[in-house]
């Protein structure tokens, strides 16, 4: 039995998130498992580094599976990609020791959220970015992002359906950059709660529209109540871009996806 780590790129628009759900609900995980099972000639179970929401995208989602089947790396990727839908693609594969686990060995996860701030909606960026028509105060939003760095109780920033046992998370960085009409939030933490990034972005948009000032973030943290925060930003602009692992595993770190996901922060 051989353990394999894989890197996956997908557009999440037509899926109800990463995780396999009840019958009739299409997920990224189940879609890949079905194809890998054909290539391996036995049932394959995938374990992912994270659980993206419905409509959320990924450029390098790390997952692993076990198989006794003898295939070359090229054979695994070529055979799987030839049968996957066009909006899901394996980008790399690596043979691992049994002590590797895509979820439990990850030390941090990283997301980027892309806002397109312009008066008129873009056609070619449909479902790839979140379009905000009203002008946003970038500098106010950028200052507010620093309030999310460090260890905090994110109770006010998680969905009611969140299944995590506790809301404490450590955010190692939270940066906002601007490139023309694009605003890109880059955030990395030891873990994320359900809708946490989207709720953070929703609050930043409120600040950018001067609905609230930067002290609004302190008030939300203190409330420890989801009702104290603002809207949940759309899934369209959210991308899972990286899971970090101990160097001993030596996993590929690839720059994939649209150009805005590779701009420096």
Q: Which residues are identified as catalytic?
A: 53
CA dihedral (102, 51, 259, 90) in degrees, to 10, reads 50
How many C-beta atoms surround the C-beta of residue 115 within 10 A? 26
Q: By CB neighbour count within 10 A (0-12 exposed, 13-18 middle, 19+ buried), where does 68 fall? A: exposed
User: From CA 108, how far away is CA 232, in angstroms rounded?
Assistant: 23
């Amino acid at each position: 039995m051989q353990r394999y780590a894989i890197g996956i790129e997908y557009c999440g628009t037509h899926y109800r998130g990463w995780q396999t759900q009840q019958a009739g609900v299409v997920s990224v995980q189940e879609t890949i498992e079905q194809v890998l099972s054909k290539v391996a000639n036995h049932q394959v179970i995938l374990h992912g580094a994270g659980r993206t929401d419905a409509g959320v995208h990924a450029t390098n989602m790390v997952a692993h599976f076990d198989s006794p089947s003898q295939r070359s790396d090229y054979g695994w990727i070529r055979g799987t990609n030839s049968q996957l839908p066009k909006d899901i693609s394996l980008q790399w594969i690596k043979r691992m020791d049994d002590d590797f686990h895509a979820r439990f060995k990850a030390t941090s996860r990283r997301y980027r959220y892309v806002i397109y701030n312009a008066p008129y909606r873009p056609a070619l960026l449909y479902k790839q970015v979140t379009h905000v028509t009203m002008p946003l105060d970038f500098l106010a939003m950028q200052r507010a992002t620093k309030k999310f760095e460090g260890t905090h109780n994110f109770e006010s920033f998680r969905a009611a359906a969140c299944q995590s046992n506790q809301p404490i998370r450590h955010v190692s960085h939270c940066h906002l950059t601007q490139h023309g009409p694009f605003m890109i939030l880059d955030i990395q933490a030891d873990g994320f709660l359900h809708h946490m990034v989207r709720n953070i972005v929703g609050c930043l948009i409120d600040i950018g529209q001067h609905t609230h000032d930067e002290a609004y973030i302190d008030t939300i943290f203190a409330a420890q109540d989801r009702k104290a925060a603002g809207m949940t930003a759309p899934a369209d602009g959210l991308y899972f871009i990286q899971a970090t692992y101990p160097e001993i595993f030596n996993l590929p770190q690839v720059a994939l996806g649209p150009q805005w996901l590779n701009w420096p922060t």
